[in-house]
Structure 1
């Protein structure tokens, strides 16, 4: 049996889910990307108890099909942007469609209907978060970041960054340096 749980892709969340399943005597095969595969069928009482316990931990057991699909789309995008060594070389729509086994138009329409933004906008928001992270680590310059995240140019990345954050990437990095210096001078 497969259960769908809304949680961030993190070791802590995975551990919480595993702990709650174990408490209920449920044996899991996989706990990954919002999907939990358990060996046995779950009773209504176990389902309700799991749902209640997960909610207390800030996690949500999903029951509706659209909600489940949205969480799967989000998980694929978050994994792709934040955790993959490299972004896919195919276009994102093909990648997401292939990964989830659905037609991209269906995925896109469902996502837009439920979230109020389209998949491309969601990807852009996460790419900008990744740019911020890479800027703060100061290991890569803007050209390297643009290349790594498949921007067509540094100016394209800069324009998108400014549109989303209101700041240029260089000013964002400069603010981080100023904050660091201020903390060191305290």
Structure 2
């Protein structure tokens, strides 16, 4: 079954899943399921099909992962991204326990491998993803800072602001003022 699983780099959101699904459908490659960074195929692919799929994925910013360690790092990233975007309680739980349970491996091994391959710690990566999520939520302009803090798993709005400023050099309010463009109605043009 392992050879019917493909690992794909740069899948970070539901739109990525839709994009990969479109590629597989267009190439008439039957699949069972798609999640962030992983595709379960219904059959093995021959060399030509793999090459064609690889080229299509590359043309849209994705990349098939062949190396075992790269696949594991990609799975770590996928668990973190999915947790931050889809699970409000994710950040309230111990990341080392989540990753160990999800990947059935010792956290010290995962942490060491991730740091060696990515040049940063798992926690640094998690903070980067949280910061990007906060930027996204600020852009929607639907939640206040406290609500965003709760959504992303910070203990308070003040802690969110501190972490955000460490990451970006700006407070959330400054970022919103400087970077978030106001949407205008089509009628106003």
Equivalence map 1:104-123=2 (5 Å): 104-123=107-126
**Where does residue 91 of structure 1 map in the other structure?**
94
Shift in Å at residue 12 of structure 1? 4.2
Shift in Å at residue 74 of structure 1? 1.1
Instruction: Tell me how far apart the structure 2 counterparts of residues 69 and 58 of structure 1 sit (CA, whole Å).
Output: 20
TM-score by length of 2: 0.82
Shift in Å at residue 79 of structure 1? 1.0
**Where does residue 172 of structure 1 map in the other structure?**
175
Q: How many corresponding residue pairs?
A: 184
Compared CA separation, residues 16 and 129, structure 1 to 2 (3 A): closer
**Where does residue 49 of structure 1 map in the other structure?**
52
Compared CA separation, residues 41 and 125, structure 1 to 2 (3 A): same
**Where does residue 161 of structure 2 map in the other structure?**
158
Q: Which runs of 5+ in 2 are unaligned?
A: none
Q: 1:29, 1:37 within 8 Å by CA — same for their partners in 2?
A: yes
Instruction: Tell me how far apart the structure 2 counterparts of residues 25 and 146 of structure 1 sit (CA, whole Å).
Output: 43
TM-score by length of 1: 0.83
The answer on 1:140 being equivalent to 2:153 is no
User: Secondary structure of 1:136's partner?
Assistant: helix
Instruction: Tell me how far apart the structure 1 counterparts of residues 59 and 139 of structure 2 sit (CA, whole Å).
Output: 33
Q: 1:88, 1:95 within 8 Å by CA — same for their partners in 2?
A: no
Q: 2:9, 2:63 within 8 Å by CA — same for their partners in 1?
A: yes
The answer on 1:13 being equivalent to 2:16 is yes
Shift in Å at residue 118 of structure 1? 0.5
Range that drifts further, 101-110 or 143-152: 143-152
Instruction: Tell me how far apart the structure 2 counterparts of residues 40 and 2 of structure 1 sit (CA, whole Å).
Output: 9
Range that drifts further, 1-10 or 72-81: 1-10
Shift in Å at residue 29 of structure 1? 0.5
Range that drifts further, 126-135 or 162-171: 126-135
